[in-house]
Amino acid sequence: MADTALQILALNAFNPMASAQLSRDVAELVTRRQRSFGQASVLFYEEPLHVVAGIGTELITIDGTPYLDLYNNVPSVGHCHPRVVSAVRAQVGRLNIHSRYLFDVVHDYAEQLLATFPAPLTNVLFTCTGSESNDLALRLARLVTGGLGVVVTKTAYHGNTTAVTEVSPSSYKKGAPPAHVRTVPPPHRAYYGDDIAGGFARAVGAAITAMANDGIRFAALLVDSIFSSDGVFADPPGFLAEAAALVRAKGGLLIADEVQPGFGRTGAGHWGFARHGVVPDIVTMGKPMGNGMPIGGVVTRPDLLADFAESFGYFNTFGGNPVASAAALAVLNVIKDEDLIGNANRVGNHMMASLRDLSARHPAIGEVRGAGLYVGVDIVNRGTGRPDPAETTRLINRLRERHILIGAAGPFGATLKIRPPLCLSVGEVDRFIDALDDSAAA
Amino acid sequence: MADTALQILALNAFNPMASAQLSRDVAELVTRRQRSFGQASVLFYEEPLHVVAGIGTELITIDGTPYLDLYNNVPSVGHCHPRVVSAVRAQVGRLNIHSRYLFDVVHDYAEQLLATFPAPLTNVLFTCTGSESNDLALRLARLVTGGLGVVVTKTAYHGNTTAVTEVSPSSYKKGAPPAHVRTVPPPHRAYYGDDIAGGFARAVGAAITAMANDGIRFAALLVDSIFSSDGVFADPPGFLAEAAALVRAKGGLLIADEVQPGFGRTGAGHWGFARHGVVPDIVTMGKPMGNGMPIGGVVTRPDLLADFAESFGYFNTFGGNPVASAAALAVLNVIKDEDLIGNANRVGNHMMASLRDLSARHPAIGEVRGAGLYVGVDIVNRGTGRPDPAETTRLINRLRERHILIGAAGPFGATLKIRPPLCLSVGEVDRFIDALDDSAAA
């Protein structure tokens, strides 16, 4: 989960345009929204979009214009995928209850989901959101280790509960996380030189030592294996293994936040952690799990869950309910039947190669990073080569004019964040590349 | 939210029956469930139900038997209500995105929801669950007051996140909430004599003073206005007002957890707090809001939200998405068009009068308490008059044999907890009363 940098960007992007300049329809909705949502109202774009439909890779606005959606990683198998829609429509008219009665679909789903995980990750708890999943992961890790301390990356975002906000440095407009949360730079040669694996592990080790010196016992390293909100850092595959070994040696757990990289997005199996050859102790899931239906999950080892269950039960009223389970089961089947992992790999590689070509021609387009259909592109000042958030915002708004939706991440909001539905085609990539080429030149 | 006592009860109720005694179908599902869910698997009943459909007030098991559902307060307008089903089916095929683009249905819903609240409660934030709502309410209250301390009742349950578990004493199998959470007895003459309003307020005041003496600044009184998991305490209406005034005098906020009493269940307006003539600072919602579709909300004053927004944004990916909003809007319209608040009042009064008649004839049936269709019935030992959890479990399982589903609450799990869909009829109440009459006599 990596939305905060863009939240702030979006706020900035929206505020400048006076409502008089907006279409009457949009201005009216914005006014109604501000009245109901107050200061919590955050919108994308200088001129927000009034969306009325979604189909595959596209969102359709009220005037009938289709926009190519490269931003939204929730409808991961495509907006309103017919098989997910059918599954929801059938189930919602039949039964939708909590899981303390027996019903079939949640068990079919749990088994198919768990089959995508390596041993010993054989138990699942269902939640409704990635935030609930990460919160439960922290509860598990802290109870089992007896520690409180968590290490995260500097611009991480892991969700919105009290406990999860503490491990989301990017959420703080003022102040900083509490002392039991320590940050390390994201895995990039700018911070660690060529030995990213060793450098990252040493930084994690130093954070653990520093918290121990302050009397804080270490519980877990919590990372999103694509480091999305830090700016998307995927390479070299395997760099997490050394940090994972160190974490275990220090008595802590590795929590893999798969809310963003999970469900095939990285183009190499279902889970981002697999690219690193590690098996986490706890894996958390959310966003794309139900293609928009609220469902999240925590997968872990039975021994950790048994330890937890001695002190607490866990029950989530809507977690894994029949409608959410039916949607999520359809998502897994679509990923398999449409070879979306293979597509993410092929189309993602084509996108990254094309972006690197652009980078060679446009000084504002810097480093291209990613895996599968999770891609980051640094936007830099033509003169200084430093991150350029103003140019990033300009490009995002120019791409919107060309009917392409895209976001930003990173500490400066100066990395384009590209995470389209996994059914994206090569032709759609080329359309995006052409539009970015034009926009960067303009 | 008040499920923990029953979780424990259900565990106890389930464990005794060996799988050999279960039907083959149920035994197979239980085995699959234990394999996937591990120690987190909690089921109702000695012989769990395999449910395949829900219609109105009834759940249908795989053998075609209809069970009258007096337990489940999520499908509050009735299982698979056709108008909610239609709304979901239409929306899920059209658009389901997050709320940083503009779309209509969330604004229609927000306005109709806010119209049910008194001034100055004019802003809403959407979440996915009651737990997320209470967690956000705690974040708001703590940030705005600068305090950490929260007062709750002794057997309260408010949800399952890290922060919300701390304010849910009933969730602790071992240990107890941290020092910044203080508990007071529930509002009943057993603890406060005849002056429940004054006694409860004095207990809250003493808790605030005690935490201040320990250097903990007071943030909020968090109560579910039906005190459901404590055992259902509704009377006399208005008793909360004195505590609310004291809370404000001490610089704290009143958070009303309407996850259980809200949306008309108490038969007197939409919100449980209205029975007390108080206006909370923050109101939280969940369970029945979307009749099973995951949606929750926090309603508060614009000034509190503005203070919060200076330090943090709040974004919830699935919160108020088009499908959840469409379901929730249908729920509000059904409550109005079918006069479900009036029905809850009429049928609830008939139920409580009938239960009091039973109480006069059966020594095991003790005090009857409640408002509308949220009713609690103490089950007591015939000899000693003390709470009798074993008899409660026996009655719950006997009622199951008579195809009636019901739960328990309270510190001993010895209060029958009755919270059926709000469309319950007088005839269905009479069927329940006859079954309880028989069961209590047996």
B346-376 pLDDT, tens digit per residue, is 999 999 999 999 999 999 999 999 999 999 9
Residue B8 has pLDDT above 60, yes or no: no
Listed in order, the ranges of chain B carrying CATH 3.90.1150.10 are 4-77+339-441
Q: In chain A, what residues touch B116 (CB-CB under 8 Å)? A: none
Domain made up of A4-77+339-441: CATH architecture: Alpha-Beta Complex (3.90)
Q: Looking at per-residue confidence, does A43 or B9 come out higher?
A: A43
Confidence label for B441 from pLDDT (cuts 50, 70 and 90)? very high
Q: In chain B, what residues touch A111 (CB-CB under 8 Å)? A: 32, 36
Q: For residue A374, what pLDDT is reported?
A: 98
The stretch B205-217 carries a mean pLDDT of: 98
Q: In chain A, what residues touch B122 (CB-CB under 8 Å)? A: 35-36, 38
Is B316 close to A131, i.e. CB distance below 8 A?
yes
Which range (A385-389, A430-434, B3-7, B205-209) has the least confidence? B3-7
Q: In chain A, what residues touch B39 (CB-CB under 8 Å)? A: 123, 302, 305-306, 308-309
Name the percent of chain B lying above pLDDT 90: 91
Residue of chain A whose Cα is closest to the Cα of B315: A160
Taking the C-alpha atoms of residue B69 and residue B78, their distance in angstroms, rounded to an integer, is 10
Give the gap in angstroms from C-alpha B144 to the nearest C-alpha of chain A. Answer: 14
Q: For residue A21, what pLDDT is reported?
A: 77
Residue of chain B whose Cα is closest to the Cα of A138: B162
Q: Among partner residues B36, B107, B123, which is closest to A38 by beta-carbon distance?
A: B123
Q: At what angle do helices A426-441 and A340-361 cross, to 10 degrees?
A: 20
Q: Among partner residues B95, B100, B123, which is closest to A52 by beta-carbon distance?
A: B95
Contacts of B179 (CB under 8 A, 6+ apart): B211, B214, B216
CB B72 within 8 A of CB B56: no
Interface residue of B101, B105, B139, B396 to substitute, partner A, most A CBs within 10 Å: B101
Q: In chain B, what residues touch A4 (CB-CB under 8 Å)? A: 313, 315
- Determine if residue B32 is left, alpha or beta; phi over 0 gives left, psi from -120 to 50 gives alpha, anything else beta: alpha
Size of interface A-B (CB pairs under 8 A): 325
Residue of chain A whose Cα is closest to the Cα of B175: A311
Interface residue of B39, B43, B61, B406 to substitute, partner A, most A CBs within 10 Å: B39
Q: What is the DSSP letter of A45?
A: S
Give the gap in angstroms from C-alpha B150 to the nearest C-alpha of chain A. Answer: 14
Give me the sign of the Cα torsion angle B165, B169, B173, B176.
positive
Q: In chain B, what residues touch A93 (CB-CB under 8 Å)? A: 80, 85, 89
Q: Hey, which CATH number is domain B82-337, 3.40.640.10, 3.40.50.720, 2.60.40.10, 2.30.110.10?
A: 3.40.640.10
Is A102 close to B49, i.e. CB distance below 8 A?
yes
Residue of chain A whose Cα is closest to the Cα of B45: A101
Pairing relationship of beta strands A407-409 and A51-55 according to DSSP bridges: unpaired
Q: For residue A18, what pLDDT is reported?
A: 57
Q: What is the DSSP letter of A278?
A: -
Interface residue of A131, A143, A168, A405 to substitute, partner B, most B CBs within 10 Å: A131
Q: Among partner residues A1, A44, A122, which is closest to B100 by beta-carbon distance?
A: A44
ipTM: 0.96
Q: In chain A, what residues touch B111 (CB-CB under 8 Å)? A: 32, 36
Arithmetic mean of pLDDT over chain B: 94
Residue of chain A whose Cα is closest to the Cα of B298: A37
Interface residue of B6, B26, B81, B102 to substitute, partner A, most A CBs within 10 Å: B102
Q: In chain B, what residues touch A110 (CB-CB under 8 Å)? A: 36-37
Q: Among partner residues A40, A88, A138, which is closest to B125 by beta-carbon distance?
A: A40
pLDDT in tens, chain A (442 residues): 334 433 434 433 444 355 667 899 999 999 999 999 998 777 888 889 999 999 999 999 999 999 999 998 899 999 999 999 999 999 999 999 988 899 999 999 999 999 999 999 999 999 999 999 999 999 999 999 999 999 999 999 999 999 999 999 999 999 999 999 999 999 999 999 999 999 999 999 999 999 999 999 999 999 999 999 999 999 999 999 999 999 999 999 999 999 999 999 999 999 999 999 999 999 999 999 999 999 999 999 999 999 999 999 899 999 999 999 999 999 999 999 999 999 999 999 999 999 999 999 999 999 999 999 999 999 999 999 999 999 999 999 999 999 999 999 999 999 999 999 999 999 999 999 999 999 999 7
**pLDDT tens-digit profile of B57-94?**
999 999 999 999 999 889 999 999 999 999 999 999 99
Q: In chain B, what residues touch A29 (CB-CB under 8 Å)? A: 102, 104, 107
Give the gap in angstroms from C-alpha A364 to the nearest C-alpha of chain B. Answer: 27
Give the gap in angstroms from C-alpha B59 to the nearest C-alpha of chain A. Answer: 8
SS3 of chain B: the string is CCCHHHHHHHHHHHCCCCHHHCCHHHHHHHHHHHHHHHHHCCCCCCCCCEEEEEEECEEEECCCCEEEECCCCCCCCCECCHHHHHHHHHHHCCCCCCCCCECCHHHHHHHHHHCCCCCCCCEEEEECCHHHHHHHHHHHHHHHHCCCEEEEECCCCCCCCHHHHHCCHHHCCCCCCCCCEEEECCCCHHHHCCCHHHHHHHHHHHHHHHHHHCCCCEEEEEECCCCCCCCCCCCCCCCHHHHHHHHHHCCCEEEEECCCCCCCCCCCCCCHHHHHCCCCCEEEECHHHHECECCEEEEECHHHHHHHHHHCCCCCCCCCCHHHHHHHHHHHHHHHHCCHHHHHHHHHHHHHHHHHHHHHHCCCEEEEEEECCEEEEEEECCCCCCECHHHHHHHHHHHHHCCEECEEECCCCCEEEECCCCCCCHHHHHHHHHHHHHHHHC
Residue of chain A whose Cα is closest to the Cα of B1: A317
Listed in order, the ranges of chain B carrying CATH 3.40.640.10 are 82-337
Q: Among partner residues B44, B163, B305, which is closest to A162 by beta-carbon distance?
A: B163
Is A132 close to B100, i.e. CB distance below 8 A?
no
Q: For residue A252, what pLDDT is reported?
A: 98
The stretch B128-144 carries a mean pLDDT of: 98
Give the gap in angstroms from C-alpha A188 to the nearest C-alpha of chain B. Answer: 28
Q: For residue A1, what pLDDT is reported?
A: 31
Using a 10 angstrom Cβ sphere, with 0-12 exposed, 13-18 middle and 19 or more buried, the burial of residue B114 is middle
Q: For residue B10, what pLDDT is reported?
A: 40
Is B101 close to A44, i.e. CB distance below 8 A?
yes
Is A43 close to B101, i.e. CB distance below 8 A?
yes
Give the gap in angstroms from C-alpha A152 to the nearest C-alpha of chain B. Answer: 18
